[in-house]
Structure 1
Amino acid sequence: MDSLAEAALQGAPAAELQKLSVPSDYMALHTRAEDANIFSGETDKDVRRSLRLGRVPMPELAPDEVLIAVMASSINYNTVWSATFEPVSTFPFLKQMARRGYWGARHDLPHHVLGSDAAGVIVRVGSGVSRWKVGDHVVVATTHVDNEDPATHGDGMMGADQRAWGFETNFGGLAHYSVVPTNQLLPKPAHLTWEEAAANPLCAGTAYRMLVSERGARMKQGDVVLIWGAAGGLGTYAAQFVRNGGGIAVGVVGSPDKVGHALAMGCDHVIDRQEIGLTGGAPSDPAAVGKRLGKAIRKATGEDPHIVFEHVGRATFGLSVFVCRRGGTIVTCGSSTGYRHEFDNRYLWMRLKRVIGSHGANLQEQAETNRLIDLGRVNTALSTTFPLAQAPEAARLVQRNEHIGKVGILALAPKEGLGVTDPVLRERIGEQALAPLRN
């Protein structure tokens, strides 16, 4: 660990951090452009083969950016996409960044530093930064936007050049350092550890926009919400938002051992996929499986769902359209089992249902999510952590869907439990409530 990173970890004051030199390179989890065809013709695209851990050059800091000493990060499914170079290699995204001029050209490199979550300490600020200062503890909102695009100021997600940080940009969070524009920064919740704070931004913000935001499903009290993958990263935050908003959360999980985890995170009822005969990919007879699923939901709640929280994709989307009530809403982001969805359109059009596409969250939505976390009303979905040296193994766990909640990565933090600056609030909330999946 270099002296600047060591000082940031030890809580050194800003004046001391500013005196220390920024290293010329740093440790980072990355992919390499030369490996883009490494899985050609193979069925099992094991991400451990393409994820590299090694030193990469430190980029120059733009006027509106900060350099963060990353204490912790987490694995999201977009790291799996990057590591398998599917559905497309992420290196073309970096070439697109280069078209934006001098500062964008920094991203177009033969290596791609991954990671769309981070919590850490600001150790440098760009010449144009006024709101943030060296020494601040921050988390990173994951939407990278173009402030010069007028659409961005109406909704950051609607800007033509909106990107997922660490997936469609370089210098992500699975590293000892990260470069972040200031319009992605939020204060770290003071009662959380580094790893707990780092697990939240991408999944919690995405779930908030999908369910709570006026741009999503606009969930209201009493709504029955079907949550696919209720023991995973997105699903565990969705269950909390449904619970907080007075809805009724019906979770679907992939195995019996995940039922208790989904209940712990806020689901009122949980259905094991095996109970309805849904195993593997999309069912050959979706109507039959959909009827069994609908029957299980009505048995639990007495009604069909008002909202379906959909992110699994090909394997479940047809069922989501089928079981959603007349006039209901399917809100969808991502498709971890495939992007090409098949469904019987009669159940959509003749029963007046809506499909809403949702992606990430704008900074205001992220700030509202962060406030709920700061208040202790939404808790971390962190289940386990790995050191950065074992990040490929952690990504493999997520790739095979053998995880629950969020899998954290300790970057500069040498152990769990560091970073708490409000122990009073932490004690008031209680360790069990703070991280249900860990306890």
Structure 2
Amino acid sequence: MEQIREAILSGDRSPETYAGLAVPESYRGATVHKDEVDMFGDLPTKEKDPRRSLHVDEVPVPELAPGEALVAVMASAINYNTVWTSIFEPVSTFGFLERYARTSEFAKRHDLPYHVVGSDLAGVVLRTGPGVTKWKPGTEVVAHCLSVELEDAEGHDDTMMDPQQRIWGFETNFGGLAELAIVKANQLMPKPAHLSWEEAASPGLVNSTAYRQLISKNGAHMKLGDRVLIWGASGGLGSYATQMALAGGATPICVVSSPEKAEICRAMGAELIIDRSAEGYRFWNEENTEQNPKEWQRLGKRIRELTGGHDVDIVFEHPGRETFGASVYVARKGGTIITCASTSGYLHEYDNRYLWMNLKKILSSHFANYREAWEANDLVDRGIVHPTLSKTYRLEDVGQAALDVHRNAHQGKVGVLTLAPEAGLGVTDPEKRARFETEINRFRDA
């Protein structure tokens, strides 16, 4: 593994060099263990600690299947799916691996007593399996997390509709929070040359998800002039939605939970901001059993104060249960509530009168297809959208990194160094970087 690291750090990217490197028998990866799925018992969700369940283990390098690539991972990042995996909610991911294993001989590799997690990476291709022609050893890459088989007709209009669609590193094994990772070759995309390894790794999942959810014809299809309410606008997902709204000529109304997060939104260029903690919104009673419509009304009034009397065209939803009733209420007549997650709970409740009588739409969105992920990555490469990396941990501290995200004690994205010995490495176009240095660092500066 040290030879691989040295080759990458040398800057040599010739295919011959990497083809000549020996692939080790094992590598270090962040794992959860199948025999620990009940370790948290009946603890409340917020008290479940990923530092107890996430391990850094030495695991065998699996066989490479046709159409796959083995990537030396320099850096990765934390997403909510890693948090869910680490606290075994809403279900253990070992069920995903068991079901996947029943689909083919090569899929059997994924059903193991451990799960190597992580759905982001930036690194260098080491090997490619039979049938791969687009990517060569030595190529610097990032990866999106859509894993598809495309053996069914349903997947050939929108690959997210493939019946065998899975999220790599969550519903499959051999994820990116590791020194090596296995991905399908059609998950690979060019690494932006002006970014460090950890910066390049951090947008993948959330940037692509925000792009489909907000911009794509498969999502809200945002247009010039739209007013967009963005929950968690300084977080891993919302920070990309905020940038896209601004770049696309829309007006984001950013909902945050602290003055510090409000300042980050201002640094991105947003002007209309609601600090829900400072303004004391309480959409549910203390028992979390009943909502308070007067709080929905108060939020709607606040939005109209900020927008000069207008309701929002789009609500960018991902908290779920805690905010969904309010989201349905505050969307304009004929507006769209687009939802991609439920980080505060999956059982949503809303008053259907405000939906049906006002002709509003609830749309669902999940990650992105390859075209959407590629376009989202191109926005980063062109400097239209920037990484929102705020902090970077070592692989040994992956549990703490996941805890930060679990407890919302972070801004933007939290990165994890895997093979990279320190932060800041991997920039190969410093002139391009110099044009965007302030934007790249604004979450770190916060």
Q: Is the TM value for this pair above 0.5?
A: yes
With 142-151 and 1-10 compared, the bigger mean Cα shift is at 1-10
Give 2:206's aligned residue. Answer: 203
Query: Which residue identity lines up with residue 260 of structure 2 in the other structure?
Result: D
- Counterpart of 2:297 in structure 1 is 291
CA deviations on 1:82-135 (whole Å, 9 max, x unpaired) are 011110000010011111211100000000000010000001111211010000
**Within-5 A mapping of 1:85-234:** 85-234=88-237
Q: What SS class does the counterpart of residue 390 from structure 2 fall into? A: strand
How far 1:146 sits from its partner (Å)?
1.2
Residue 384 to residue 280, structure 1, CA distance change in 2 (3 Å):
farther
Between 1:8-17 and 1:216-225, the stretch displaced more is 8-17
Q: Which amino acid aligns with 2:116?
A: V
What residue in structure 2 maps to residue 322 of structure 1? 329
In the TM superposition, residue 10 of structure 1 has moved relative to its aligned partner by 2.7
Residue of structure 2 aligned with 1:256, choices 253, 256, 259 = 259
CA contact (8 A) 1:220 1:247 kept: yes
1:239-290 residue CA offsets vs partner (Å, 9 max, x unmatched): 0110011100001111222110122234231101124423596774431111
Which residue does 1:345 correspond to in 2?
Answer: 352
SS at 1:325 equivalent: strand
- Whether the 8 Å contact between 1:332 and 1:357 is mirrored in structure 2 is yes
- Of 141-150 and 224-233, more deviation after overlay is shown by 141-150
Separation in structure 2 between the aligned mates of residue 82 and residue 281 of structure 1, nearest angstrom: 27
Partners of 2:282 and 2:186 in 1: CA distance:
42
What amino acid maps onto 2:104 in structure 1?
G
Partners of 1:276 and 1:293 within 8 A in 2: no
- State the Cα distance separating 1:372 from its structure 2 match: 1.0
Q: Deviations over 1:36-55 (max 9, x none)?
A: 10011222111111101111
Matched residue, 1:3: 3
Is residue 439 of structure 2 the alignment partner of residue 417 of structure 1? no
Q: Identity rate of aligned residues, in percent?
A: 52
Measure the CA separation in 1 of the matches of 2:30 and 2:283: 30
Query: Which residue in the other structure is 2:376 paired with?
Result: 369
Work out the CA distance in 2 between the residues paired with 1:266 and 1:165.
33
Counterpart Cα distance in 2 of 1:15 and 1:240 = 40
User: Which is worse superposed, 301-310 or 256-265?
Assistant: 256-265
Query: RMSD in angstroms over aligned alpha carbons?
Result: 1.3
Q: Does structure 1 retain, via aligned residues, the 8 Å contact 2:283–2:291?
A: no
Given that 2:230 and 2:317 are in contact with CA atoms closer than 8 Å, whether structure 1 keeps it comes out as yes
Report the TM-score, using the length of structure 2 for normalisation: 0.96
- Report 1:21-36 matches (<5 A): 21-36=22-37
Rounded to whole Å, the distance in 1 between the matches of 2:292 and 2:158 is: 36
- Aligned partner of 1:236 in structure 2 is 239
The two structures have a TM-score, normalised by structure 1, of 0.97
SS in structure 2 of the partner of residue 436 of structure 1 = helix
Q: Distance between the aligned counterparts of 2:163 and 2:225, measured in 1?
A: 36
Residues 67-76 or 153-162, more deviating = 153-162
- Partners of 1:47 and 1:83 within 8 A in 2: yes
Amino acid at match of 1:415: E
Deviation sequence 1:14-72 (CA, Å, 0-9, x none) = 21222221111100001000001001122211111110111111110012111100001
- 2:274 partner SS: strand
Residue 435 of structure 1 aligns to a residue whose secondary structure is: helix
Which residue matches 1:15? 16
What does residue 396 of structure 2 align with? 389
Q: Does 1:310 pair with 2:317? A: yes
Residues 286 and 318, structure 1, Cα contact 8 Å, conserved in 2: no
**C-alpha distance 350-276 of structure 1, shift in aligned 2 (>3 A):** farther
Provide the rounded CA distance (Å) in 1 between the counterparts of 2:126 and 2:324. 44
